[in-house]
Amino acid sequence: MSDVVEKTLTALPSLLSFDSQSGATKLSSTSKLGNLIRGITELTSKHEEEKLIQRELVSIKEQVSSPNTSMRQMKELMVRAIYCEMLGYEASFSYIHAIKLAQQGTALEKRVGYLAVSLFLNESHELLLLLVNTVLKDLQSTNLIEVCMALTVVSQMFPKDMIPAILPLVEEKLNHPKEIIRRKAVLALYKFYLIAPNQVQHIHNKFRKALCDKDPGVMAASLHIYSQMIQENPEGYKDLTASFVTILKQVVGGKLPMDFNYHSVPAPWLQIQLLRILAFLGKNDQSSSEIIYEVLDESLRRAEINHNITYAILYECVKCIYTIHPKSELLEKAAKCIGNFVLSPKINLKYLGLKALTYVVQQDPKLALQHQMTIIECLDHPDLIIKRETLELLFRITNAQNVTVIVEKMLEFLRVNKDDYTTIDLVGKVAELAEKYAPDNEWFIETMSTVFSVGGDMMQPDIPNSFLKLLSEGFDSVEEDRKLRLFAVDSYVSLLQGEPGKLPQRFLQVISWVLGEYSSLREELEAATVLRLLAKLLDMKSTSSETKSWVLMAMTKLCEGGAGVSVAQEVCETYSSSLDTVLRQRAQELQHLSQDCELRARVLPRDAGLEPLEVDSSLSFLDGFVSEALAAGAAPYKPPHQRQEELAQSKALSLEPYGLSLPISMSSCSIADRQSPTLLSVSSGLSGDSPDLSHKGGSTTLKLDGVKRVWGREGYLSQREPVEESAQVEVPSPLRSPSQQGEADSSHSQTPAPIPTPQPEQEKQQLASSLFVGLGSQSSVCLMGKSEPTTQRFRREAKGPSSSSASAASEQISNSLVSTPSTANNLLCNNLLDSNVTSELTVSSLEQTSQLSQSPAAANGTCDVELTDGDMKESSPSLVRDNGVVAADPAPHEDPDRPEDLCLNTHLPAEFSGLCHSEITPLCSNQSLDLSACHVQKEDSLALVVFIYNSSDSDIQQILLELDSDELEVSCVCDSAVQEARSHSVAVCQYSLTVKRPSVHVEVVGMVSYQFPVGTPQSLQFSYKLPLTSFIRPLTVSTEEYGTMWLDFSHDTKQKLTLISDGQEPLADTLNVLKKKLKLHVVEIIGMEGIIACRLLQDQPCLMHCRLHAGTLSVWLRSPVPDLPDCLMYHCQRALQEH
């Protein structure tokens, strides 16, 4: 078919001249649109086009606003307006008319109206509100086509806030006799689910009905919703696994109507959707996976026709097989499939083959070895996309032995690549590899220099930052540090002596810092020479002023001795009158410091340690000044965002009665003042009540990250490491004994023995051997493969798997069962980190875990320890993991006497003994440390207790716990700062948490770093999730107080909730459930209405008004805190559903 199309389309140029002959164009050749289009094709320049379109737009504008224009003409005008917009000219005047057309036109005009609306406006456009009524009317229309149009536009875009208005009508359509209406209704609900999941939470059972619809099309549409929901929460839908398998079996078996076939393959889209869902369900779940195996096998078998669409299905099968619990037969078939893809002459398949290899290579490095020659060929492929994908694959298999070759290949690619996004990504990867696996100093510095010059100014700013941090912090040996720095100085001096004009700004900044800091290490290098080189940078036109200030700061550190001072003076003269205030400041500093040696030595001491600077960030020294000014009548300081907010409030229409508008602003002020518990103000008691710290709703810590603070009193301020680890799982370092190498080799007996090969072939083989050296390749090919254990020299910290990568790690582990011994061994170093946590938990099913976690909540209404999905995942027992460990390593680091939860309970600080606490959940662990945590709900605070159990045989010192969260303020309860943990004992840390920004679930991420008496510092990362409800406390107010507060709060949300109607008094019952589960205070119940109050810790109230209405509960939540009503509504909904 495509050939036919292509032929027709190639005939196009000839058609252009005789367009009257074309059937379709005949219609419009006389129309105005036809004239416009033809007019434009005849034009030669952009300028002429612009003139023509502007004329056209003027004429359209005139006509649309004329009252005599009929709807029929309007339709034609809209089509022309759409065309103009498509060419990139704005026709915003027509938007309102498009809505009018959709509203007033008859069916065919309406269709154009709706199309224009969907093309012109997007979800957030304010005019869209005008469409709501039209949609409502059309949804109720008896004309099917109008209903279809309305549903189509609803699933294109619909204002989020207006969903409740049409939701009942859309729901109703799920029962419509016509399947096309049902299908569109399901897709509209899918759209709602995507943009506002809690709006459609109550209709989940209707989704099930759609899934069971007799029309396969409706069922297929419902899979979109299920795919989304299952991805978010696979545990909740395990019961559907068998149903999905049955559906897939029927589809594969050709049981669907012929209509669904595509090129004689039965419903491929449906198949792929189902495979994807099954992959979610079978991931890390052996029992579900076992249900899936058979149908996967059948899908693989049936997909045999040589067509793109079957390859698409095969590819999805392969992905599924490698995602779910492994089965060796299927893995073999999948590996064969991947092989076929990689070897295929079709370039698209080759690409997918490489992608699949990248996906599986960590589980099965053997597979990459089998295809090593193809991979080498792909490295030199003329298509950059293929090359890029190959590098991605190589990146995953990099280790200390092949790093130089792989990085060289990457840099080669970078030099020819033109795409910015790829450059940024790849530069980051090179930097990461260089840092992790650099074989020696020279290589590292040179590679980083290339990274800086190629990456230029678009690369991620943390690359130069972490490079400088690495240089300044150093690593194991002082001598090595010195050598590295010296080499950097040498190579940068020679770079500056060359043509520094070509270097990117970021690189110049790095160079100036390094020279400023370390050029004194090279004794024969005179400071004046360096200063002159730096001064040369200042004179270059291309140097940005940011770089100039880096240069000036470097010069400040260097200006010593007569010659140096004179260079410095020269520079100062030029820049101390610069218009740029920063430069002028730096120049002034330079001038003063170059003249006053003593002062300079104090400000910029040589060999300054890296102790963190003490910065009085609360600016408490200004308190006297501020209070004086305040006393003299100055207005208190308000941060800009608060000022803006107030401005906006005063501008916005007041919907409240006039008399009350004053108290609104008053109360919002007083609330703002009350909520200022801050980390910083605690440290400087003086400024605790200084007005600038009482941001409304915002964080009260000074925002330092917006301001670039690179230099401090003692030089460069090292930046904090980003907490988030890169998502990919590390390739285990190749620490293998020769015997294991042998084992690995023997497992590759199927690869032919090397025979004498021609020259180019030999080169390739050499390349192959150097690329795949760490993966256990054939010893005969292994020219460079001396598998001596190499340590990673530039590793600053052990990047233990954080909880986010834990699932990925477990994936690997689960696969270790079937991989070669060498792989299993490689994987060991990863899985051991995990094994301790889960090994003793032998709960058989996940339902049990969730029941366990929820039962306390039901039992005593005052304590909520509902575990979130994330938690469940962490604690979910995986028998597979244990097996993996046992099979791979007979001497595991498991401790028989590691602390059970029960034992940890005894370590709970005494003051919490009477309070209820959540279940103690393991956070992370490795050979020496086990971290667990729970939270304790106190009357007016929430405490997080972290247990650090030292499972090793030696004492651990300098334990440092750092916690951070987007949504929470975390402060350490001062007397609990742990420093050391004795062998086989538990240390306990306490933190108090307060909410910064409400969110349905809040998460604390943290890092523990520690050090053994002998050995390098290590660290572990973890995260802890808890629901917002832990922060909710009852708020006891009287009805009168409630009344006055109600009007003062500006943020609100309304929704209908299901009623618990099994008792005598549904309202009271429902409210009691909410009271119990969420710890709310029921203020009063009057007839059909109830009022409830609660507060978020630290006195942020939230009020709730409930009313019985037609069998449901309409709930209205109000609070002064943004987002709080929404989040609370979510939890109310959950609480009622779970009941």
Interface residues for another protein in 29-68 (CB under 8 A)?
29, 33-34, 37
Q: Stretches 264-272, 400-408, 455-463, 754-762: which one binds another protein (CB under 8 A)?
A: 264-272
Query: Is residue 811 a contact residue for another protein (CB under 8 A)?
Result: no
* Residues 113 and 103 sit within 8 Å (Cβ to Cβ): yes
Q: Stretches 50-58, 101-109, 513-521, 945-953: which one binds another protein (CB under 8 A)?
A: 101-109
Q: Least Å distance between CB 421 and another protein? A: 5
**Alpha carbon of residue 146 to chain centroid:** 40
Query: Which x/- pattern, by CB under 8 A, does the window 412-451 give for another protein?
Result: -------x-xx-----------------------------
Q: How far apart are CA 448 and CA 430, in angstroms?
A: 8
Query: Is residue 696 a contact residue for another protein (CB under 8 A)?
Result: no
Among 135, 187, 303, 369, indicate the residue that binds another protein (CB under 8 A): 187
Residue placing its CB nearer to another protein in the complex, 188 or 832:
188
* Residues 1026 and 1127 sit within 8 Å (Cβ to Cβ): no
Query: Is residue 758 a contact residue for another protein (CB under 8 A)?
Result: no
Q: What are phi and psi of 973, to 5 degrees?
A: -80, 115
Query: Is residue 107 a contact residue for another protein (CB under 8 A)?
Result: yes
Tokens of 778: 């054939």
* Residues 972 and 1098 sit within 8 Å (Cβ to Cβ): no
Q: How far apart are CA 159 and CA 1021, in angstroms?
A: 40
DSSP letter, residue 956 = B
Q: Stretches 265-273, 686-694, 771-779, 1082-1090: which one binds another protein (CB under 8 A)?
A: 265-273
Q: Least Å distance between CB 23 and another protein? A: 7
Residue placing its CB nearer to another protein in the complex, 156 or 883:
156
Query: Is residue 1088 a contact residue for another protein (CB under 8 A)?
Result: no
Alpha helices, H only, 632-689: 640-651, 661-674, 679-683
DSSP letter, residue 917 = B
Q: Stretches 13-21, 60-68, 408-416, 628-636: which one binds another protein (CB under 8 A)?
A: 13-21
Alpha helices, H only, 891-1023: 901-906
Q: Stretches 185-193, 842-850, 1038-1046, 1113-1121: which one binds another protein (CB under 8 A)?
A: 185-193
* Residues 929 and 956 sit within 8 Å (Cβ to Cβ): yes
Among 43, 52, 79, 988, indicate the residue that binds another protein (CB under 8 A): 79
Residue placing its CB nearer to another protein in the complex, 123 or 1138:
123
Quote the Cα angle for 428-433-436, to 5°. 125
Among 161, 294, 332, 383, indicate the residue that binds another protein (CB under 8 A): 383
Query: Is residue 104 a contact residue for another protein (CB under 8 A)?
Result: no
Q: How far apart are CA 181 and CA 851, in angstroms?
A: 40
Query: Which x/- pattern, by CB under 8 A, does the window 139-158 give for another protein?
Result: ------x--x---x--xxx-
Q: How far apart are CA 149 and CA 173, in angstroms?
A: 13
Q: Least Å distance between CB 561 and another protein? A: 51
Among 64, 77, 112, 782, indicate the residue that binds another protein (CB under 8 A): 112
Q: Least Å distance between CB 245 and another protein? A: 20
Tokens of 389: 């994908």
Query: Is residue 353 a contact residue for another protein (CB under 8 A)?
Result: no
Secondary structure class of 986 (helix, strand, coil): strand
The terminus-to-terminus CA distance of the chain in angstroms comes to 57
Exposure string over 52-63, b if 16+ CB within 10 A, otherwise e: bbeebbeebbeb
Q: How far apart are CA 1115 and CA 1113, in angstroms?
A: 6
Residue placing its CB nearer to another protein in the complex, 262 or 621:
262
Residue placing its CB nearer to another protein in the complex, 123 or 911:
123
Specify burial of residue 559 (Cβ count, 10 A radius: 0-12, 13-18, 19+). Answer: buried
Angstrom CA distances, 374 to 404, 943, 978, stand at 20, 57, 54
Q: Least Å distance between CB 70 and another protein? A: 9
Query: Is residue 458 a contact residue for another protein (CB under 8 A)?
Result: no
Secondary structure class of 879 (helix, strand, coil): helix
Q: Residue count at the site for another protein (CB under 8 A)?
A: 85
Query: Is residue 268 a contact residue for another protein (CB under 8 A)?
Result: yes
As beta bridge partners, residue 1093 has: 1081, 1103
Residue placing its CB nearer to another protein in the complex, 217 or 785:
217
Q: What are phi and psi of 120, to 5 degrees?
A: -80, -45
Report which secondary-structure segment, H or E, holds 933.
strand 929-937
Query: Is residue 343 a contact residue for another protein (CB under 8 A)?
Result: no
Residue placing its CB nearer to another protein in the complex, 179 or 692:
179
Query: Is residue 953 a contact residue for another protein (CB under 8 A)?
Result: no
Q: Stretches 76-84, 95-103, 1076-1084, 1119-1127: which one binds another protein (CB under 8 A)?
A: 76-84
Nearest to 437 by CA among 722, 790, 721: 790
Query: Is residue 124 a contact residue for another protein (CB under 8 A)?
Result: yes
Query: Is residue 388 a contact residue for another protein (CB under 8 A)?
Result: yes
Check residue 1098 and give left, alpha or beta (phi > 0: left; psi -120 to 50: alpha).
left
* Residues 716 and 513 sit within 8 Å (Cβ to Cβ): yes
Query: Is residue 347 a contact residue for another protein (CB under 8 A)?
Result: yes
Q: How far apart are CA 300 and CA 815, in angstroms?
A: 21
Q: Stretches 85-93, 364-372, 859-867, 886-894: which one binds another protein (CB under 8 A)?
A: 85-93
Residue placing its CB nearer to another protein in the complex, 348 or 862:
348
Q: Stretches 16-24, 546-554, 661-669, 934-942: which one binds another protein (CB under 8 A)?
A: 16-24
Alpha helices, H only, 576-660: 581-595, 597-603, 623-631, 640-651
Q: Stretches 23-31, 233-241, 409-417, 783-791: which one binds another protein (CB under 8 A)?
A: 23-31
Alpha helices, H only, 66-159: 71-86, 95-104, 107-120, 131-139, 144-156
Residue placing its CB nearer to another protein in the complex, 222 or 1030:
222
Q: What are phi and psi of 819, to 5 degrees?
A: -90, 175
Among 280, 322, 351, 575, indicate the residue that binds another protein (CB under 8 A): 351
Query: Is residue 1 a contact residue for another protein (CB under 8 A)?
Result: yes
* Residues 263 and 220 sit within 8 Å (Cβ to Cβ): no
Query: Which x/- pattern, by CB under 8 A, does the window 210-229 give for another protein?
Result: -------x---x--x-----
Q: Least Å distance between CB 107 and another protein? A: 5
Contact positions with another protein (CB under 8 A) in 306-325: 308-309, 311-312, 315-316
Q: Stretches 182-190, 515-523, 730-738, 783-791: which one binds another protein (CB under 8 A)?
A: 182-190
Residue placing its CB nearer to another protein in the complex, 86 or 632:
86
Q: Least Å distance between CB 426 and another protein? A: 11
Residue placing its CB nearer to another protein in the complex, 19 or 964:
19
Q: Least Å distance between CB 36 and another protein? A: 10
Query: Is residue 72 a contact residue for another protein (CB under 8 A)?
Result: yes
Tokens of 918: 């959540």
20's CB contacts (< 8 A; 6+ apart) are: 26, 29
* Residues 217 and 183 sit within 8 Å (Cβ to Cβ): yes
Quote the Cα angle for 655-660-662, to 5°. 105
Query: Is residue 5 a contact residue for another protein (CB under 8 A)?
Result: yes
